[in-house]
Structure 1
């Protein structure tokens, strides 16, 4: 699995997590995603409606 595939896999995971969480638990998902050593882009995660609401 190359870097792009791995990155896409992580993004998909965090988008799904962000879609199912809200408020306090959502902040933990965002912190985890932005702290992840293999993620370098966050636009998909930040575009999730739950994240936009916060």
Structure 2
């Protein structure tokens, strides 16, 4: 049995990679804009980082 995926077609795979990369780029830009826009957002980010660190320790 052989399974096929549209991701095996070169042009579709390329467009999929480009789409994913573009989405990640936009997310990064939004993240930077939000965290740099005000002190309150930076404090929320710092709290989030601390919570994640605590979660990973346990």
Same topology, TM > 0.5: no
Greater RCO between the two (CA within 8 Å, min separation 6)?
A: 1
TM-score normalised by length of structure 2: 0.39
Higher helix proportion? 2
Greater Rg by CA: 2
